[in-house]
Structure 1
Amino acid sequence: MQPALATPLDIQNIRRDFPILDQEVNGRPLVYFDNAATNQKPLLVIDALTRYYEGYNANIHRGIHHLAEQATAAFEASRRAFQEFLNAKHWQEIIFTYGTTDGINLVAKTYGRHFLTAGDEIIISTLEHHSNIVPWQMLCEEKGCILKVIPVDDNGDLLLDEYEKLLSERTKFVSCVHVSNALGTVNPVKTIIEKAHEVGAVVLIDGAQASSHLELDVQALDADFYVLSAHKLYGPTGMGVLYGKKELLDSMPPFRGGGEMIKEVTFAKTTYADLPYKFEAGTPNIADVVAVKAALDYMASLGKEAIAAHENDLLRYATEQLLELDGLRIIGQAREKIGVISFIMEGIHHQDIGVILDQQGIAVRTGHHCTQPLMQRFGIAGTTRASFAVYNTRDEVDRLIQGLRRVQKMML
């Protein structure tokens, strides 16, 4: 094995922060390579959840007793942490959601429903997750809008020349993934945003995969909307963030009606609360919002640049090793990638690969990865996907290669 890239991170020490990794699966030490689906949680995050429920579980914003005030302060501290994480101009631009999918649906069903009309064009890309396809298809069916798609080349890179041809005065909205969950492609979102703004279109960026790997600055990108999920940031499931420019959020109607999002209710009329609460109806997912700050703090303590360097080293090493296997083809070798590798093996179904690897304690993802149109573009039903996080090692990559050799021996 070649020596790993020099990094300030002590990976073995980091691994001790993740209790779930200290176990065996089918009698073998767990190798967890399904991080693009969700990554594991450090003990700091688990402890933050426990502290909330044991120490100050209460509803927020409305109570004046001690526990309510403590819970409210912790909840709003997470909002300020995400403002810093994304470099948002205003804390009111951070809306808590139930995840990336929820954030996209919020924008489609408020901004899209309110401002788009029949004949308006929406552009997405071939790389999109279903969560950034289906809401726009539903909106097009409802409003009579037209959905257009940016194609990709054989490496999984977007064809920007074709994107520019799609843009016109009829383009009103562009919604594009920052990083492909299926291929790992990093899209040139700043250029995508700039070109869209030139024709007056509004842009949403799906940052679910980018958020734990790349430095994010919504002001530098000039993103109109940016969405992400906590569970891919070493945080809890069931919560996420929608960033939106304040003037856009102010112009949008509420998504859901109920408590918290109101200013005054009578049977004749309701007036709505100011941002961000206009979009946060009902009792929110308080515990997970509180705990996600521990995840952001944990990542900050390691340093995003150091995390990225380690993951990129794993990506390079794994790519080299996989390409040495006879009959293996990597799907998607874009110019810029994060730590995701999708591959197929000649004569072996991806589900069989996943099952045999699991028997050896190696967790990968198989299937279409909620990107069926992308799989159709490459003429395949699905892939096996290995995706990396800060706690993964080159030794684990070696385990994967050994496991795949066993797959070939058993199946061919």
Structure 2
Amino acid sequence: MAENSRIAGFRNMTVAQRRSAVTEATGFDGEVFSQLDSSAFEPTDAANLSENVLGVFSLPLGVATNFTVNGTDVLVPMATEEASVIAAASNAARIARPKGGFVTSSTEPIMQAQIQLINVGDPHAARSRILERKSEIIDLANAQDPTLVELGGGVADLEVRLVDARTTTYVLVHLLVDVRDAMGANAVNTMAEAVSGTVATIADGDALLRILTNKADRRIARARAVFDRELLGGAEVVDNIIHAYELAAADPYRAATHNKGIMNGISAVVLATGNDTRAVEAGAHSHAVIDGRYTSLSVFEKTAEGDLVGTLDMPMPVGLVGGATKVHPAARAALEIAEVSTATDLAEIIVAAGLAQNLAALRVLATEGVQRGHMSLHAKNLAAAAGATPEETESIVATLIEEKAFRFDRVKSLLAEIRSGGSR
């Protein structure tokens, strides 16, 4: 892992200087950065990942600094187009450092496949018949992926659920599969296909859907961190952050934006490492529904000492093998930067990043408001879109912040004023 993720002045460095700093912090060969250059992923290679390919679409890839996870310093790769995300996560990680950083843990990497059985005349009895032959079905499923079984994975259990729908009762067979370091979709889908005929015969019905569920609630990663009261801004800020969290816990309208803030951090790391952002997002939002009500994924409380403690438990179906993680050169580079050796390690770092991003957003909302931080970075994007030079951008951003007017038409007028010799 990184010798020290607390890299002084990182945000003010040039791209070349940042690469040198990351190389020094991690100790790996700086040649890894050649994988991040746009020419490293040709359209012909991209055509192996998608269809009707015309080219390659790039996003900024950065690293969040200051992270300590389970006592080890980590540089967290993040791919995002949204201003302030990486800076905010880095700042939250800095606030967590004095209290030990992030502590993480996980369940086993269990993914589930569903087999939907229709036209079953006796659903309750069919459920019993299937469970009576559980071992036979599990053996058939495991025979589809002997390599996974050799690695210590494979089907860990089988469950049968009865779901009452509008016109009938469906029998749903769940295969609970330990997928080890894979995301696991292909493995569980193959197993579901292979056993569907057998379970349909046992149930005296027909198999219809045979596919994984993205409600990966058996594959949970957890993160916890204590955020120093004084570094946050004092006792009032702690109280206000808790008020902001409690609104998200009670109100789905606030929870949607609250959880979006978490996913700003989560999705950026998932995308950077070549994993499936849609699967992770689907699992996250389904996990946020408790007793039929959408609520906050995270929890914030006050410690006995008056500091703020945050926890985040959520599904994290990510892998190190298969898909874009091995094909995309930038994803391979991101995994090298993170220095993870298992999918579980990666999942826990991702959830730590989500908690950091969540805390950063709540702190801003509970103090200065979103405009000053997020919008000042947005102002730089507006200036760049208008064609401003770095020197012109600095002046334009200062004016926009002073005026609190983050509009493209105002950027254009300021740029015109500067270039005509105005006072700005």
Larger relative CO (CA 8 A, sep 6+): 1 or 2?
Answer: 1
Same fold (TM over 0.5): no
TM-score range (shorter-chain normalised) is under 0.3
State TM-score, norm by structure 1: 0.25
Q: Which has a greater percent of helix?
A: 2
